[in-house]
Structure 1
């Protein structure tokens, strides 16, 4: 697969991170396979996660093709970049096509990046995840690699203004040991194990994070650590209301019928 766009994008991003003096903690990079396909499954705390999850594979010299919602590809600026980096659009009304594209990429030796929570976690804990990532790994006979990211929520997350030029933000990226599910396994149990591993990695990243929130900034800390982020239950209710509002707006459009 020809990559004309991806390397310059990475180089630009790394240059920006250096200018902003972002402080990276990157651990477990040996868990990224040097060759062959893999499904990289990351938690989701910010709109920037695909950039940082992609960095998990950078030391291994690998590029990650992320599955992302179709709306991003429709954006006049982001769209050409996403297509140029060979990421995979996900249309929630026609998911079979994106699943097939991901399988083809995995069988071709690519690393596919998945945010199994589907949307950003407002509680900054790992939300419920579905078994799609496990099924892709089994169908393609490739490993699952859990990843936890912590820190980017301070720059841009759901319900907060962008602070993309914020300096000196620590960013933690932890890569867990690969899982090797196979046909005949209980996919729900494997998914539960994946969720557990991601949660353990995220909690480690959060508890060992070098910064503590300043006064008035406790919004970016999870409730279980004394922050004012919504609890998982409160976040689920907010997500439910948002989904209902989105459905109502969609149904009210003139072309809805």
Structure 2
């Protein structure tokens, strides 16, 4: 079935980016394969991360099918859009069904987007990764493509009001070289290697991120270990 809705949605998103005056700092999009199945794996710091993860696949002319919690598909507005764009609902009580749908899509040559932290990181640091992405890649025999996003939390994240005014701050997107999902390695081992790669990409994005003229000390969107006022990982777990 043709993707009749997905391209117009992408066009609308790009128009919205322009209206917000967002600046993009994107590196590594050549690592997204132009054909065949792949699993894009990103950190998760904003409700809008799926938009920016998908943006990284556009130079390769790929449409990403995201695995998202089922409640998004029940919403009267987002639900029809998500289904029309062939994203995959995840019912955590019946995860095997979503896993099967994602596996079928990978075998058809689709690109699947996964946030292995499962939920937004309120500390803006990496949480532990679930092993589902690694298991999918191993079973479908496709590569894992690590990604890191930075700056998206400044638009809309957990515990903060949406800020969709015009901005001049950048959104950083880093895509790394594919991580092979060796069939003779445990999914846990692959996941550990994958998390290390995403961590390296995230740190690279943070190092390159321009500091505001007033400085980022105490900024709510900056993680505690970089001098911001975001909760520490321990505090975030308690929350």
Range class of TM-score, shorter chain? over 0.9
| TM-score, reference length from structure 2 | 0.96
1:113 and 2:106 aligned:
no
Is the 1:155–1:166 Cα contact (8 Å) retained in structure 2?
no
Task: Tell me what 1:181 maps to.
Answer: 181
Cα deviation for residue 192 of structure 1 reads 0.8
Distance 2:166 2:192 in 1: 36
1:14 and 2:40 aligned:
no
Task: Tell me what 1:197 maps to.
Answer: 197
Task: Tell me what 1:47 maps to.
Answer: 47
Task: Tell me what 2:60 maps to.
Answer: 60
Is the 2:182–2:190 Cα contact (8 Å) retained in structure 1?
no
Task: Tell me what 1:136 maps to.
Answer: 136
1:231 and 2:232 aligned:
yes
Cα deviation for residue 166 of structure 1 reads 3.9
| TM-score, reference length from structure 1 | 0.90
Distance 2:169 2:21 in 1: 7
Q: Mind listing any 5+ residue stretches in structure 1 that lack a counterpart?
A: 239-257
Aligned Cα root-mean-square deviation (Å): 1.4
How many residues get paired?
238
Q: Secondary structure at the match of 2:191?
A: helix
Is the 2:216–2:222 Cα contact (8 Å) retained in structure 1?
no
Is the 2:124–2:230 Cα contact (8 Å) retained in structure 1?
yes
Larger Rg: 1
Deviations 1:173-232 (A, max 9, x none): 000110111222122121111111111111111121013376897110011110011111
Deviations 1:28-69 (A, max 9, x none): 011000000000001000000000000010111000000000
Task: Tell me what 1:26 maps to.
Answer: 26
